[in-house]
């Protein structure tokens, strides 16, 4: 596509600016810790100004929701559902982090619905200092049996799977 602009000066002279759209591939590195709304600029890669000089192309980061984790600043939040048995007697489990490493979570006491554990250093990396990481907050839900307990279950041999 070719765009031609004619610009008239005060002295009745004019000049012609011919703008040609061209396709180019630009690459951007999404760095660890970048946040929603953060901008990255490609200097002189945008639409030209009236004087013909190229403008800047500004890209704004838009994060997609994750099915397991929610990001708030450098902190991550997630919910885990426990069986009633695990909530009463304790548990050990691994949570798979965004980068694939396992975060071990364990408790040896009663876990109430809504209880929250903090794992410092297991959140997102800080954009300005990748040696710093936020906190991972794990909130627990407890799954209760969906039917009445049998006599055997009432004696302590129950499973609410």
Least trusted range by pLDDT, from 35-44, 101-110, 138-147, 150-159 = 150-159
Residues 74 and 130 in one domain: yes
Least trusted range by pLDDT, from 21-30, 31-40, 68-77 = 21-30
Query: For residue 160, is it within any domain?
Result: no
> pLDDT at residue 13 above 90?
no
Residues 127 and 75 in one domain: yes
Query: For residue 159, is it within any domain?
Result: no
Please tell me the total count of domains within the chain.
2
Write the CATH number for 95: 2.60.260.20
Tokens linked to 136 = 């991972």
CA distance 46 to 68: 37
> pLDDT at residue 65 above 50?
yes
Query: For residue 65, is it within any domain?
Result: no
Domain ranges, residue 11: 2-60
Can you give the three-state secondary structure of the chain, one letter per residue?
Answer: CEEEEEEECCCCCEEEEEEECCCCCCCCCCCCCCCCCCEEEECCCCCECCCCCECCEEEECCCCCCCCCEEECCEEEEEEEEEHHHHHHCEEEEEECCCCCEEEEEECCCCCCCCEEEEEEEEEECCCCCCCEEEEEEEEEEECCCCCCCHHHHCCCCCCC
């Amino acid at each position: 596509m070719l765009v031609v602009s004619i610009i008239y000066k005060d002295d009745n002279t004019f000049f012609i600016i011919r703008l040609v759209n061209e396709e180019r591939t630009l690459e951007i590195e999404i760095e660890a810790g970048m946040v929603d709304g953060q901008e990255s600029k490609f200097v002189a890669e945008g639409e030209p100004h009236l004087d013909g000089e190229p403008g800047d192309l500004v890209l704004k980061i838009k994060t997609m929701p994750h099915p397991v984790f929610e990001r708030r600043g450098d902190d991550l939040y997630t919910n885990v559902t426990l069986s009633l048995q695990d909530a009463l007697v304790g548990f050990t489990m691994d949570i798979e982090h965004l980068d694939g490493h396992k975060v071990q979570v364990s408790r040896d006491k009663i876990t109430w619905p809504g209880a929250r554990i903090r794992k410092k250093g297991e959140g997102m990396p800080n954009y300005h200092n990748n040696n710093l990481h936020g906190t991972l907050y794990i909130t627990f839900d407890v799954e209760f049996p969906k039917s009445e307990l049998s006599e055997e279950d009432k004696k302590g041999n129950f499973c609410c799977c």
